[in-house]
Chains A and B, each alone.
Chain A
Amino acid sequence: MKSVLAILTVVVALVGFWYAACVPMNIHEAAMQAQRAGEEVTPAEAPERRHMGRISLALKNTGLWSTVFSQERPQLPAPHQVAQEFWKTTWGMIERGRAFSKRSLILHGWITLSATLLGFAFGTALGIVLAVSIVHSRAMDMSVMPWIIASQTVPILAIAPMIVVVLAALSVDDIVAKGVISMYLSFFPVVVGMVKGLRSPDAMQMDQMKTWNATRTETLWKLRLPSSTPYLFASLKVGVAASLIGAVVAELSLSSNGGLGARLLAGSYYGQTVQIWSALFAAAALAAVLVWAIGVAQKVTLKRMGFAQ
């Protein structure tokens, strides 16, 4: 309970900081609007204001502070503006029976989620298969493993636009193209984690299997795979987060069919900051739900398998 309070404190502090930041971030716009409405603004000259620092302008116009939280296109929208937009484009859409309209975050979230899950599933499967073969073949281990480790230091996301274009040229479905990038990103943590996990049984446990004359397959199923479960879940958490990032970034290049990444891009074209932020929060919520779901599966599975928590 103590940590709940601590987390709340940190979150409240962050939100408070956000509200405070809205004042200097939006003060220029607020001053312009106030002047158009015929109000007194210091300094009165627009060019003079433009050259002023945000904070000093904010300090000179304390009267304008109340207007910085409700602008149409703020530099930094206030948290409640983002929350309103988020609510309007999710639950609000459901209420109006248009849950899957183009303006609904549910639709875009679903598009991103399906690509994420597709890529994640294939990435995980591929990762496990590769890890098993690495653990069983010394040649695989020595030739492939160094490259896998080295490739983790490479900014793989940079390839996303290219993969999208190549796959589009091969007239592959969009969701598959996005899935490929997600797969690519989630596959690395799974391989690395699973190789570690499959090797986690100690020498004594392996020797014991040997004394029973167990085959390699039996050792794999009865010893290696069960002992690798905690490692698997740890990498799945990293993998699913990476997979989502892959899908979002892929959507920057494949924006015609929607998705959270497409919303981000559209928002940035039209200066719709509130829309960008709410898409961002939708992505964050999606990531949180995915990681949480794997966390629950992890807890249940590990408990059933008798791993100490």
Chain B
Amino acid sequence: MNNETIPQVDPPKAVVEARGLDLTFQTKDSPIQALKDVSLTIEQGDFVSFIGPSGCGKTTFLRCIAALEQPTGGNLTVNGMTPDEARRSRAYGYVFQAAGLYPWRTIAKNIKLPLEIMGYSRADQDERVKKVLQLVDLEGFGGKFPWQLSGGMQQRASIARALAFDADILLMDEPFGALDEIVRDHLNEQLLKLWERTNKTIAFVTHSIPEAVYLSTRIVVMSPRPGRITDVIESPLPKERPLDIRDTPEFLEVAHRVREGLRAGHAYDD
């Protein structure tokens, strides 16, 4: 019995691990290679953004992690399981481009939807709804119907819905793409705070460079035909990020690298 051993620091746990991932869609005319040889590790607590032009496979990759698409080659694990096992063990919450709230349910009942499906007790459901509504700043709106709220509020509600159950991964597919700049800034700031408080692992698809740089610890630059990773940029920015960090030289430097990466991927095409 030796209690004196030096406490070992856990090595960062790989949450998502992709090795040589391929995905080819069969269409009428010709097969389309949506993903080619994609390898990436996302670690516990990461905030990873995927950026690239449309058709670069960023959404497809996210959908593979969520087991909404089946890769045709390579290896992909989520929490050490296959994506489908991870889905069945409810390992992640998914936020789509549109809020996708059910119009016939109130905001609170919308957030309860996954909880009902996953069999949480009635009391637990109410408590969780209250908690996540607070997290996304929507207290007092639980009784409203989605169509009575603005687009930004609807999207916040859909994030709350993804946070309500105990998934430690949050997959977000251009969640703020349809919102205007001002609302988007506000939600970005809130999302960072939320990430800090909950310590979730977030994979975030976007096509906005400032958004990717502002939010992420790592930025994955992707490129189309075939969809592949062209660059992975570690962000040197601190975890604490006020909105005006976007005017600092460090921020502009990272943004510049992302833009270069995107351009390089594009040049390959010409």
A/B contact in complex, CB under 8 angstroms:
no
Give B residues with C-beta under 8 Å from A. none
Residues of A within 8 A of B (CB): none
